[in-house]
Chain A
Amino acid sequence: MKTMIKSFIAIFTLSVIMVSCGDANSNKSTKQSGALSGNAAEKVYVAPGEHDEFYAFVSGGFSGQLAVYGLPSGRLFKVIPVFSVDAEKAYGFNEETKPMLMTSHGFIPWDDSHHPDISQTAGELDGRWVFINGNNTPRIAKIDLTTFETTEIIEVPNSAGNHSSSFVTENTEYVVAGTRFSVPFPQRDMPIDEYKGNFKGALTFISVNQEDGGMDIKFQLRMPGFDYDLSHPGRGASHGWFFFTTYNTEEANSLLEVNASQNDKDFIAAVNWKKIEEYVNNGGGKKIPSKYAHNVYDEHTHTATSTMKKEVLVVDPEDVPGAIYFMPTPKSPHGCDVDPSGEYIVGSGKLAAELTVHSFSKMLKAIEEKKFDGDAYGIPVLQYEATLAGAVKQPGLGPLHTEFDGKGNAYTTFFISSEVVKWKLGTWEVIDRKPTYYSVGHLMIPGGNSRKPFGKYVLAMNKITKDRYLPTGPEVTQSAQLYDITGEKMELLLDFPTIGEPHYAAGIPADIVAKNSKKFYRLEDNKHPHAVKTEAEAKVVRKGNEVHIYLTMIRSHFAPDNIEGVQVGDKVYFHVTNLEQDYDVPHGVSMIGAQTSELLIMPGQTETFIWYPKQVGVWPFYCTDFCSALHQEMQGYIRVSPKGSNVPIKFTLDGDAVDAE
C-alpha cells in the first residue's frame, strides 16, 4: 500500500513536472511562432518610399493582359494591356492602337494570355523585353521594358491554342510558339474523325531582331498531330535545342480526358533548332500560302501598323533527319523545364506517380548509339531508360511545373496535392514540401528558367483561393503566394491577389529594368502625322463631313477650348497632343457621348479618337487624369449645329484665335 502511495505520488509529481514542462514548451513555441510570423511580415515589408527588389510580370490569364507586381511586397504597379482592349489606357480604342489587335480573323478584342518570358543574353535575363502568348487566337506579343507597353504582336498561323509558348532561346535568337491543338495544316474543310495522321502540330520559331526586337517567323515545324503543351530552351551545353512536352500522342479528337490518357508514355520532343536553322538558311523548307497579321507599334509616330503576311516557311521533320527526337515521358507530361546548367530536362507527367528527369548528355549518347525504340511518323523515339537521368519518387500528386534556384535545387508544383516540393538535382531526393492554398499551377523564381536564377523567392500561382480573402460573391479573387527559399526549408511569407488567372510569371531584379524606364516621350521626336507641337499650331479643319480637331493639352488647359462649326452627322476626329515634357504629367480627354474610351496621353504623345455628334447643343469635353491643382478647370466646349447649318468653323482659347497664344 505504502509503495503504491509512494509510486502514486511519484507519478503525480512527474506528471505535474511534465505538464508544467509541456506548458513551458508550448508557451515558448507560441512565442516562437509569433516571432516567426513577425519575421515573415518584415521580409515582405517595403517601407513607404522604398522600392521592391524584383519586378514580377504575372500573366493576366483570361484578362488577356500582363500585370506588373513588385516582390516581395506583392504590390500591383501596372496592368499592361496586351491582347485585350483596355478602356483606361484607350488600348484598342484609340485609332493608334486598334491595329495592334488585328488578326487574320479581323479585329479581336480579347485573348487568353499565358506565359511571359523575359529576353536573355548569354542565358541570363537582360530586361529588354517580355514576350507573352495569346492562347486563343494564336499570337505572340512583345512588351518593351523601357515603356512597359506592348509594341509588337505577331499572329501564329497553322496553330490553335498557342500554349507551349512564348519561351526565348539563350540569346533571344528566337521566341518559340507551339500549338496545343493540332489542326489541318494548312487549314481545310475535312471530317474531324479523320484527325489521325492528317492533323498536324505547328512549332513556330520566331526570330527576334537584336537591334529593334522586330519579330518575324523564321520557320514552322510541321509535327505529328499531338498536343504540344509546354516547352523550354536548352541552355549552356544544350543551347541550340528546344524541348516540348506532348500529350494526346493517341491522336484522339474527342473526349480527350479519357482518350488522350491511354498511352503509358507520351513524349518530350527534342528539337535541334540550330540544325533546322542551318537547313533553312541554305534554302531549305517550303513556302506555303498562309495569312497572319504582324502588328508593330512605332514609338515615334505613336501609332501601330498592321501588315497581313501572305506566306510562311514550313519544314517537315523528314526533310531534316537527325534534328528531332522523341523522349518517352510518362503520362501526359505538362511542364517541360530545363535546369540552369542545361543538362536536366524535367518532364512533369501530370498523371504520373513520379517526376521524370531526362539527361541531355545521355540523350546525345543515345542518339549516337542509335538507342531507338521505333519511330513516330519518321521521328526516332529514344529508349526511355537511355535518356533517363533519374526520377523523383513519390513527390506528390499531379506535378505541373518546375523552377530552379541555381543552388542545385528544383521546386515543383503539385496541383492535386496542392503543394510546392523542393528536391535536389542529381540525388532526386525530396528536401521539403509546403502546402499552397490552393491547387497551385505555375511557380516562378526570378530567372528560374535561365542560366542564372536569383533564388531568393518562389512565387506560387494558385488556381483556387477559397477562404484566403474576403469573399466577393461567386467569383473569387485569383491568388499568388510568396515563399522565402533562402533556407533549407521554404517559408510561406505572403498571399496576394492577382488579375485574371495567373498562368506563369517572369521575375527579374528591379535594378536591371528600372534604370531603363522612360520618363516621357520627347515632343521633338513625335512623328505622329497629326501631332501639333505648339498651341500656335492647334487648329480645326473641315474636310467634307469630317472635322479634324488638332488639340493640345498642357497644365491645365486645352487649346483650343471653344470650338464651333461642328454639325450633327459629322465625323469628328480629336487628334490630341500632350505638350508636357515632365515626368508623371499625363493628361486624359473624353467627350460626352463619344462611343469609345477616354484617351490617356503621356507627355509628348499624340492620340486620336472619333466622335459622332448626334444631338444639337453645346457639349463639353474635359481632362480625365488629375493633372494639377487646376485640373477641374481643364475643359472645353463644342457647339454642335444642325446639319447644313452655316455656323463657320471657329476655334478659340480665352476668346482669341488660338494662334495668338
Chain B
Amino acid sequence: MKKSKILMIIGSLLLLGLFAFPLWNITLEAPQYPIPLGMDIHITKFTDTNEFDIKNINLMNHYVGMQYIPETIPEFKIFPIVIGIMVVLGVIIGFMGKYKLYLGWFILMSVLGIAGMYDFYLWEYDYGHNLDPKAIMNFKNPDGSVMGFQPPLFGTKDILNFTAHSYPRTGAYFMFVGMFLTFIAFFVGKKEAKN
C-alpha cells in the first residue's frame, strides 16, 4: 500500500482517540483550593477531574449568578456522529487513494474544528455573561460594564480569586496529530502521483 494511503487512513483513525480521551480541560485554581477544581470536556460528556469538581464549580459560580454546567448539551449528540462520519469518510478516501480528496477531507475537518471551537466559544460566552440578575455578588469592570466570567478559550486568565486554565487534552492531541498526518498524506500522495 502506498505511504500516503497509510498516512491518510491512520490519520483519520486517530480521531477515534476523541472517544477515549477528553478533548479539552478547564481548571480553576484558588487559594482555598490547594487541589484545583477541574472539568474535562469530552465529545460526549463533561467529567470531573476529581470527583464532584463540577458540582463544586457550580456551587462557586452561583455566587456570581452563573448557570449550572448542564448534565448534557446537544453537542454531545452531534460531535460523536460528526467525528464518526469523518473517520469513516477519511478511511474510505484513504483506500480510494485520491490525494486531492485528502486535502478536501483536511479542509472539511478544519472547518468543522473551527466551527466546533466557535460553538464552544458561544457556549462559554453565554456561560460567562448570561448571569442571574439576582446574583449574590455583582462585579463591574473599571469602565462600568458588568463583569463577565467567561473562561479563556485557550490559555490562562485570572477571574476574581480564581486562575482559570483552558487547554487541550489527550483527545485533542490525537485529533491534531491525525489531521497533521492527513495533511502530510496530501503532499506525499501528490509526490507519489508525480512519480
Q: Mark B45-63, 1 if CB is under 8 A from A, else 0.
A: 0000001100110010001
B136 to chain A, nearest CB (A): 6
Query: In the assembly, what is the distance between CA of A554 and CA of B63, in Å?
Result: 13
Q: Is the CB of A629 within 8 A of B56?
A: no
Chain B CB within 8 A of A581 CB: yes
B160 to chain A, nearest CB (A): 12
B36 to chain A, nearest CB (A): 12
Complex contacts, A580 vs chain B, CB 8 Å: 59
- The residue of chain A having its C-beta at the shortest distance from the C-beta of B59 within the complex is A555
- The residue of chain B having its C-beta at the shortest distance from the C-beta of A604 within the complex is B52
A82 to chain B, nearest CB (A): 30
Task: Report the interface size class on chain B.
Answer: under 10
Complex contacts, B137 vs chain A, CB 8 Å: 629
Chain B CB within 8 A of A582 CB: yes
Q: Is the CB of B56 within 8 A of A581?
A: yes
Q: A555-B59, A629-B63 are in contact. Are A581 and B136 (CB under 8 A)?
A: no
Chain B CB within 8 A of A190 CB: no
Q: Mark B23-38, 1 if CB is under 8 A from A, else 0.
A: 0000000000001000
A181 to chain B, nearest CB (A): 50
Chain B CB within 8 A of A592 CB: no
Q: Is the CB of A582 within 8 A of B59?
A: yes
Complex contacts, A630 vs chain B, CB 8 Å: 63, 136
- The residue of chain B having its C-beta at the shortest distance from the C-beta of A581 within the complex is B52
Complex contacts, A554 vs chain B, CB 8 Å: 59
B115 to chain A, nearest CB (A): 35
Q: Is the CB of A582 within 8 A of B63?
A: no
Complex contacts, A628 vs chain B, CB 8 Å: 63
Complex contacts, B59 vs chain A, CB 8 Å: 554-555, 580, 582
Query: In the assembly, what is the distance between CA of A629 and CA of B136, in Å?
Result: 10
Chain A interface residue count, CB cutoff 8 Å, equals 9
Query: In the assembly, what is the distance between CA of A312 and CA of B136, in Å?
Result: 61
Query: In the assembly, what is the distance between CA of A582 and CA of B35, in Å?
Result: 11
A231 to chain B, nearest CB (A): 43
- The residue of chain A having its C-beta at the shortest distance from the C-beta of B35 within the complex is A583
Query: In the assembly, what is the distance between CA of A46 and CA of B59, in Å?
Result: 34
Query: In the assembly, what is the distance between CA of A580 and CA of B56, in Å?
Result: 8
Q: Mark A618-655, 1 if CB is under 8 A from B, else 0.
A: 00000000001110000000000000000000000000
- The residue of chain B having its C-beta at the shortest distance from the C-beta of A555 within the complex is B59
Query: In the assembly, what is the distance between CA of A630 and CA of B137, in Å?
Result: 10
CB contacts under 8 Å to A, within B39-89, are 51-52, 55-56, 59, 63
Complex contacts, A581 vs chain B, CB 8 Å: 51-52, 55-56
Q: Mark A76-120, 1 if CB is under 8 A from B, else 0.
A: 000000000000000000000000000000000000000000000
Q: Is the CB of A582 within 8 A of B52?
A: yes
Q: Mark A575-596, 1 if CB is under 8 A from B, else 0.
A: 0000011110000000000000
Complex contacts, B52 vs chain A, CB 8 Å: 581-582
- The residue of chain A having its C-beta at the shortest distance from the C-beta of B137 within the complex is A629
Query: In the assembly, what is the distance between CA of A583 and CA of B52, in Å?
Result: 10
Query: In the assembly, what is the distance between CA of A582 and CA of B36, in Å?
Result: 12
Q: Mark B123-134, 1 if CB is under 8 A from A, else 0.
A: 000000000000
- The residue of chain A having its C-beta at the shortest distance from the C-beta of B52 within the complex is A581
Complex contacts, B63 vs chain A, CB 8 Å: 628-630
B158 to chain A, nearest CB (A): 19
A585 to chain B, nearest CB (A): 9
Complex contacts, B35 vs chain A, CB 8 Å: 583
Q: Mark A532-570, 1 if CB is under 8 A from B, else 0.
A: 000000000000000000000011000000000000000
Q: Is the CB of A582 within 8 A of B136?
A: no
A49 to chain B, nearest CB (A): 9
CB contacts under 8 Å to A, within B117-152, are 136-137
A622 to chain B, nearest CB (A): 18
Query: In the assembly, what is the distance between CA of A630 and CA of B63, in Å?
Result: 9
B48 to chain A, nearest CB (A): 10
Sample of 17 A–B contacts (CB below 8 Å): A554-B59, A555-B59, A580-B59, A581-B51, A581-B52, A581-B55, A581-B56, A582-B52, A582-B55, A582-B56, A582-B59, A583-B35, A628-B63, A629-B63, A629-B137, A630-B63, A630-B136
Residues of A within 8 A of B (CB): 554-555, 580-583, 628-630
A-B CB proximity, top 3 nearest: A581-B52, A582-B56, A555-B59
